[in-house]
Amino acid sequence: MQIVSYPHPTLRHKSLPIKRVNAELREIVSEMFALMYEARGVGLAANQVDLPIRLFIMNLEAKPDAGEEFVFINPVISRAKGSAEKEEGCLSLPELYGPVKRPKQVRVQAYGLDGQEFQADVDGLFARVVQHELDHLDGVLFVDRMSETNRLEIVDELDVFETEFASQREAGGIPSDEEIARQTAEWEKKYCL
Ligand code: ZN
């Protein structure tokens, strides 16, 4: 398992809800936490590790020995209130940052690994991370939510990611779109259908 970078096609995939949790999925989640901590991130969505399923993880302290670990399966956001603009970054767009306007407060409902539904009204960084990660499950990246003006400033940096991706693919480091679609269908069959 590894974190994929923009413009990997799985980052643009709208993931299907998860219908079953098994030992393999629990193992996947624990590998995702390890990867997220290694990259010093506060959140990581399944799409970012090339898995087309509706799940993301979070720990606002970005460290295994601090904060609280959250697993969100099939998350749904409602009751969005207010608006706040803050810098965001993404483990799939390393070293790139930009301002994103989002609702300040949201209600999130999801299932945990134990199959129990939970709900929380969150704001601040918690609300921002939840919205950023849920976007990933719909194939949306934070750069898509930046204003036109701010986006113009990062066009060159996005170009660098695209060039790097193309050369990695040419070197055989990244499967073809067809192969990725085949793997996606397999994961969906296993967890979502
Ligand atoms: Zn991200």
| CATH at residue 139 | 3.90.45.10
Show the beta-strand stretches assigned E in 82-180: 84-88, 98-102, 105-111, 117-123
What's the predicted TM-score (pTM) here? 0.96
What is the CA 169 to chain-centroid distance, rounded? 22
Own/partner contacts of 176-184, CB < 8 Å, gap of 24 or more, are 177/9, 180/9, 180/10, 180/50, 181/9, 183/50, 184/10, 184/13, 184/52
2, part of any domain: no
pLDDT of residue 27: 98
| 131 Cα: distance to centroid of ligand 1 (angstroms) | 10
By annotation, the residues acting in catalysis are 133
What is the domain extent for residue 162? 9-191
**Å from CA of 149 to ligand 1 middle:** 21
Alpha carbon of 40 to ligand 1 centroid (Å): 12
Residue 171 has a pLDDT of 96
Q: Tell how far the Cα of 75 is from the centroid of ligand 1, in angstroms.
A: 16
Residue 178 lies in a domain: yes
Tell me, in angstroms, the distance from the centre of ligand 1 to residue 135's CA.
8
Domain assignment of residue 57, yes or no:
yes
Specify the pLDDT at position 25: 97
How many structural domains compose the chain?
1
Chain mean position to CA 141: 8
Q: Please provide residue 81's backbone torsions phi and psi, each rounded to the nearest 5 degrees.
A: -135, 145
Residues whose beta carbons lie less than 5 angstroms from ion ligand 1: 90
Three-class SS state of 85: strand
pLDDT at 156: 97
Q: Is residue 3, in this structure, part of any structural domain at all?
A: no
What three-state secondary structure class fits 179? helix
pLDDT-derived band at 67 (thresholds 50, 70, 90) equals very high
